[in-house]
């Protein structure tokens, strides 16, 4: 009888992966790693005997230098259909199939509005004051009649726009290729980037991190915002210049900021944004819901089963055949 394949699941911080899907349908030895492994040598040691590695989107970097040291690896499954920290070329050269999963962007939209409301109404601060015996320590800010500026009007941005209209907000939007017609169809108005920063009461980031968007929100853009305006980022930390953001918060150039994403995750205690005033910060939980986990890891199990049957699904690369694989 063939031995079961070995599956290693990375970054299962909540020890929830095995409870989120029926792994028993696989003839597999499933091992979950409930902490983040930053050291490359330690990571290789943990993964060396794995036939299949399961990665959560953009938590652990699986670059060429790691993949070249994993001779048994044949399948790499990531949650969602994009993972910028997986070297697809290196995986293909080594004959490693990479597959993804479905995802529901609504969970990130829900968290974004939670952050907006928590920030403008100072919910964390008021709760802390209440626990300390203080009553009414800060005036909140309402949403009705305010302007929401969306950087990006794709699936997530368009869902943000729909909810903003329920709050009777004016919705402004910008992205490099956004047309006035597309914006209008989503209930928004296309404006130039500088106008968005200057006019929006809340700027919310919904762009994919790329060479074009890295550092898009910098000191210049933050200076265009008013002292009564807020910035919310649930996309990727690299889109916002973190040092410039901390400066804007410390000097009062903007009223506050909320973030669910950071340049280094898990976040080191020395990260300057953690000490910045008027912030609401969460540990990249935009997709961390029971429903999303069931979708992610149900698809992961399906991906592994389909690969074992010789018909991989939701493929992200075209691996080299055995005779062309690099040793």
- Residues assigned a catalytic role: 236, 265, 284
The rounded Cα 54 to chain-centroid distance in angstroms is 17
Question: Rounded CA gap, 4 and 1, in Å?
Answer: 9
d(CA 43, CA 39): 6
- Vertex 13, ends 7 and 17: CA angle to 5°? 45
What lies within 8 Å, CB to CB, of 80 at 6+ separation is 57, 100, 101, 103, 287, 296
| Tokens of residue 215, six digits | 């550092």
Q: Give the separation between CA 119 and CA 138, rounded to whole angstroms.
A: 12
| C-alpha span between 205 and 304 (Å, rounded) | 34
Alpha-carbon separation of residue 32 from 50, 235, 301 (angstroms):
12, 26, 14
- Residues 266 and 283 sit within 8 Å (Cβ to Cβ): yes
- What are the phi and psi torsion angles at 29 (to 5°)? -95, 105
Best CA proximity match to 71, nearest among 49, 99, 53, 45: 49
In the chain, the N- to C-terminal Cα span, in Å, equals: 28
Q: Encoding tokens for residue 210?
A: 């790329």
């Amino acid at each position: 009888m063939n031995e079961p394949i070995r599956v290693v699941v990375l970054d299962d911080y909540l020890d929830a992966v095995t409870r989120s899907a029926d792994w028993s349908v696989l003839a597999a030895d499933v091992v979950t790693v409930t902490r983040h492994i930053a050291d490359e040598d330690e990571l290789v040691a943990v993964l060396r005997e794995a036939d299949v590695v399961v990665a959560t989107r953009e938590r652990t970097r699986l670059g060429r230098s790691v993949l070249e040291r994993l001779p048994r690896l044949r399948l790499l499954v990531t949650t969602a259909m994009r993972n910028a920290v997986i070297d697809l070329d290196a995986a293909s050269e080594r004959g490693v199939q990479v597959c993804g999963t479905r995802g529901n962007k609504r969970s990130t939209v829900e968290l974004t509005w939670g952050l907006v409301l928590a920030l403008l109404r100072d919910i964390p601060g008021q709760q802390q004051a209440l626990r300390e015996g203080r009553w009414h320590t800060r005036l909140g800010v309402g949403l009705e009649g305010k302007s929401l500026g969306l950087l990006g009007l794709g699936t997530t941005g368009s869902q943000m726009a729909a909810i903003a209209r329920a709050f009777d907000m004016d919705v402004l939007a910008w992205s490099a290729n956004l047309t006035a017609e597309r914006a209008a169809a989503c209930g928004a108005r296309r404006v130039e980037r500088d106008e968005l920063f200057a006019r929006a009461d809340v700027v919310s980031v919904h762009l994919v991190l790329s060479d074009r968007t890295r550092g898009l929100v910098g000191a210049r853009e933050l200076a265009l915002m008013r002292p009564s305006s807020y910035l919310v980022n649930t996309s990727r930390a690299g889109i916002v210049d973190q040092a410039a953001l901390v400066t804007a918060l410390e000097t009062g150039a903007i009223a506050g900021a909320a973030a669910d994403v950071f340049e280094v995750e898990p976040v080191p205690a020395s990260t300057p944004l953690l000490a910045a005033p008027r912030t609401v910060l969460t540990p990249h939980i935009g997709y961390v819901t029971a429903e999303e986990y069931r979708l992610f890891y149900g698809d992961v199990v399906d991906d592994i089963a389909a690969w074992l049957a010789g018909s991989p699904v939701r493929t992200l690369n075209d691996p080299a055949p055995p005779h062309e694989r690099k040793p």
